[in-house]
Structure 1
Amino acid sequence: MMKIVLFTHPSFTAHQSMPRYANMLLNGMKERGHEVAVWSPKARFYKLPILKSFKKWLGYLDQYFVFPLEVKLKLRNSSKDTLFVFADQALGPWVPLVKNRKHVVHCHDFLALKSALGMVPENPTSFTGKLYQIYIRRGFSKGKNFISISKKTRQDLHQLHLGEIANSKVCYNGLSRPFFSLPRESSRDLLETKFNILLSQGYIMHIGGNQYYKNRQGVLEIYETWRNLYHTNIPLVLIGEEPSEELNILHKKSPFKNDIHFITNLSDEHVNNAYSGAICLLFPSLDEGFGWPIIEAMASGCPVITTNKAPMNEVGGMAAFYIEKKPADPAQWQQWKEEGAKTIEKVLKLSRPQQTETIERSFTQSQKFTTEYFLDAVEVIYKEINQIV
């Protein structure tokens, strides 16, 4: 049995996927018989009655002033064989607290840091944002042992880490909740009734937030091009955050605006229905740390169209349909949109045997990313690090 301390983001931050990931580690290691304690900042300054615009800075006081003092006190009573696990490399400022103890840092994506360093021109970072990412980078660079969720993330880690790395492994994410291939027609009927939109003939689906790399604008552009080229009246459903102002403008200008639907606050259960009822998932991300929707869709029996770039093609393997990344040069955008449109049409024109083969291949690919497979691999690495003298 190992003694594990799991560092996680505080509950008062707006993270969505990170709490699921941390809970997967927590519950998975407990089920395997290990003793796990969670260390996370509590809301003290953050809960003071003050203007909302100052809340973030009060949260920083809780995370980077109060919490490190608490950790130092707790470390006095922690045995030397305790393994300290950081659920996210963004918790880097706390890594130096245990740099001389057994530790491991889970790495997800470095998109914010790369943006702050000017490596992503399409996503400029504010001055304070740059300082914050430098602070995080200096912190996780004190770490020696790392687990990355993809080969692409591992590559970025080695490029951005400022110190010496002793151990660096890849453990692909496991599904943090179960997804199944649900009956297609009933899934469509359920969503049609719930949202009062016509979905019985199927729909093209996207899921994700407004982050630049999710490329929601590109989803609309491909969809419009497909409608113009092939004149097929099938709606587009975008699940996730409320659309940004820019996306709203594009939506209002679209000749197909009545067939483009934004859905927010969809429950996990209904997300599974959405995948199962979709004709395909259109997921042309510019970048990802992993790309959860690819596997979620495949496990739900939904064909996937995504970007032919790591880590998307790492995750999709031979089961996905690929288009190239949207080029930076606007002169090449039309060609890119037409390529995406042709790929949608290719998926729609699959024969029944081809559809069955695609779904079977997708399901087989999704089984490489089960929770059990992920946790077993993580446990092996934890034990290796824990045995280091």
Structure 2
Amino acid sequence: MRLVFLAHPAFLGLRSQDAYARMLMDGCAARGHQVELRSAQPRCWQWLRHTAWAKWGGYVDQYLLFPRQLKRQLKADPPDTLYVVCDQALGPWVPSVAQRPHVVHCHDLLALASALGEVPENPTRASGRLYQRCIRRGFAQARHFISISAHTRSELHRLGLRGRAAKTSVVVLNGLNHPYTPLPPAAADAVLQAAGLETPAAGWLLHVGGGQWYKNTAGVVALYGQLVRRLEAAGAPVPLLLMVSPTPGAAVRLQLQQLPAAGQVRWLHPVAPALLHALYARARALLFPSLAEGYGWPVAEALACGCPVVCTGVAPLTEVGGDAPLYLPRLPGPQALAAWAADAATAVAGLLNEAPEAAAHRRARGLARAAALQADNAIDRCLAVYEEVLRLEQPKCSPGATVAPGSRLPV
């Protein structure tokens, strides 16, 4: 197959999206398919990168200049080309390829749900609501979708397509984009020491996130504070909390000042995959009590490393984790933070004190679940969808076929 991948521009620095697109492209190329990456170039953004107008320069590059470039390229593409839109957030590009064989990968609809007023924790300004409307209007013109979870697929149809049927709408759980596996302690420690880190006697708890509202950073710190108090009262050693996350805002910094003296929190960001691998391997548990997620990469990554996972018991985290994690209820709201953190700390303390046999069973369940989330599985399933889409669409996109602008191809 000839596959053209439309991906976020590199100048945006969207590491997870870049890794996802690279995983797809490398996997397809390794299987003998012809792949090409197309994306916006930082023309206006480069001129304005050190000014307050950089974001707007990026918008010009992405939504004014690139569609014109893509239109010229489409004229030279053979009709059997499949266009793979790597994220539904690239919706404004979809109309350019909507009348050709295409697939749109859907990651999460959190921004759209927020723009529609469904997420009180994340109110959206008028400009953001307009932006999401443009994105939705674009990707809604597509006919073929791959969602990274059943939850995302449900939200796609509820919020994005609003009941309109798609020709193809399947779920392919993400594959790991780094070879995460259990590491021997000595191997992990060598990586950590090279980064200036040492494993304390009481170990550490790990949180991995980008600091967005849905990562519940305040909840992680509150949970840790309650756990420290509980462990101190029991005379148990207190682990360090390692936050692989950007530097927190003022509200979380105030929380940190109020932690018990025995509590220690260290912030690391950014972290290379090899170091993150070692952090997972030596962590006593991953704390991941998100308010919402599109997928939840850290859950899969930690399980693959043999690290116990504590996360929220909501989709799609339950899809990713299966029966391996310790699930917590979702934080109902800021007013319930103290009570929620106390209950969550009780559950985490129980996990840290699990008998060796129970801990070994938990680890085995996690490794078994992670084995189903390998990149090869995801790539093979995506390729099967790509081939089916070409089979469905190719007869209608032959050189002699014509389709009126804005119309749908016949079923």
How big is the alpha-carbon RMSD for the aligned residues of Structure 1 and Structure 2?
1.8
State which drifts further: 287-296 or 236-245: 236-245
Which among 316, 322, 326 is matched to residue 317 of structure 1? 322
For residues 211-360 of structure 1, the aligned pairs below 5 Å read 211-231=212-232, 232=236, 233-256=238-261, 259-328=264-333, 330=335, 332-360=336-364
For residues 1-389 of structure 1, the aligned pairs below 5 Å read 2-48=1-47, 51-162=50-161, 163-184=164-185, 187=188, 191=192, 194-195=195-196, 199-231=200-232, 232=236, 233-256=238-261, 259-328=264-333, 330=335, 332-388=336-392, 389=395
Cα deviations by residue, 1:215-249 (Å, 9 ceiling, x for unpaired): 01101111111122232322111112122232222
Structure 2 CA distance for partners of 1:107 and 1:201, relative to 1, 3 Å: same
Q: CA deviation at 1:187?
A: 3.2
State which drifts further: 321-330 or 19-28: 321-330
Contact kept? 1:208, 1:214, Cα under 8 Å: yes
Q: Gaps (5+ residues) in structure 1?
A: none
| Residue type at the aligned position of 2:325 | A
Cα deviations by residue, 1:239-282 (Å, 9 ceiling, x for unpaired): 12122232222112222475111112222111011001111111
Q: CA deviation at 1:200?
A: 3.2
Distance 1:345 1:241 in 2: 26
Report the 3-state secondary structure (helix = DSSP H, G, I; strand = E; otherwise coil) of the residue aligned with 2:53. Answer: helix
Cα deviations by residue, 1:305-349 (Å, 9 ceiling, x for unpaired): 11110001111111111111011272x433321221122111111
Distance 1:236 1:337 in 2: 15
Report the 3-state secondary structure (helix = DSSP H, G, I; strand = E; otherwise coil) of the residue aligned with 2:379. Answer: helix
Distance 1:10 1:194 in 2: 30
Distance 2:72 2:197 in 1: 56
Report the 3-state secondary structure (helix = DSSP H, G, I; strand = E; otherwise coil) of the residue aligned with 1:191. Answer: helix
After TM superposition, the runs of 4+ consecutive aligned structure 1 residues lying more than 6 A away are none
Q: CA deviation at 1:14?
A: 2.5
Structure 2 CA distance for partners of 1:28 and 1:93, relative to 1, 3 Å: same
Report the 3-state secondary structure (helix = DSSP H, G, I; strand = E; otherwise coil) of the residue aligned with 2:310. Answer: strand
Report the 3-state secondary structure (helix = DSSP H, G, I; strand = E; otherwise coil) of the residue aligned with 1:178. Answer: coil
Structure 2 CA distance for partners of 1:380 and 1:193, relative to 1, 3 Å: closer
| Residue type at the aligned position of 2:341 | K
Q: CA deviation at 1:146?
A: 0.3
Distance 2:380 2:364 in 1: 25
State which drifts further: 80-89 or 255-264: 255-264
Contact kept? 2:23, 2:177, Cα under 8 Å: yes
Distance 1:195 1:121 in 2: 40
Q: CA deviation at 1:49?
A: 5.2
State which drifts further: 292-301 or 48-57: 48-57
Structure 2 CA distance for partners of 1:142 and 1:309, relative to 1, 3 Å: same
Q: CA deviation at 1:112?
A: 1.1
Structure 2 CA distance for partners of 1:335 and 1:49, relative to 1, 3 Å: closer
Cα deviations by residue, 1:82-139 (Å, 9 ceiling, x for unpaired): 1111000010000011111111100001111111111101111122111111111110
Structure 2 CA distance for partners of 1:255 and 1:201, relative to 1, 3 Å: closer
Contact kept? 1:189, 1:199, Cα under 8 Å: no
Distance 1:241 1:249 in 2: 16
Q: CA deviation at 1:164?
A: 3.9
| Residue type at the aligned position of 1:323 | L
Contact kept? 2:150, 2:171, Cα under 8 Å: yes
| Residue type at the aligned position of 1:159 | R
Q: CA deviation at 1:359?
A: 1.2
Q: CA deviation at 1:46?
A: 1.5
Distance 1:161 1:123 in 2: 19
Cα deviations by residue, 1:357-386 (Å, 9 ceiling, x for unpaired): 111111011011000010011011110001
The sequence identity of aligned pairs, in percent, is: 37
Report the 3-state secondary structure (helix = DSSP H, G, I; strand = E; otherwise coil) of the residue aligned with 1:325. Answer: coil
| Residue type at the aligned position of 1:371 | A
Distance 2:317 2:18 in 1: 22
How does the TM-score come out when normalised to structure 1?
A: 0.95
Contact kept? 1:305, 1:343, Cα under 8 Å: no
Report the 3-state secondary structure (helix = DSSP H, G, I; strand = E; otherwise coil) of the residue aligned with 1:121. Answer: coil
Distance 1:342 1:50 in 2: 47
Contact kept? 1:304, 1:321, Cα under 8 Å: yes
Contact kept? 1:175, 1:371, Cα under 8 Å: yes
Distance 1:242 1:86 in 2: 32
Q: CA deviation at 1:352?
A: 1.6
State which drifts further: 192-201 or 303-312: 192-201
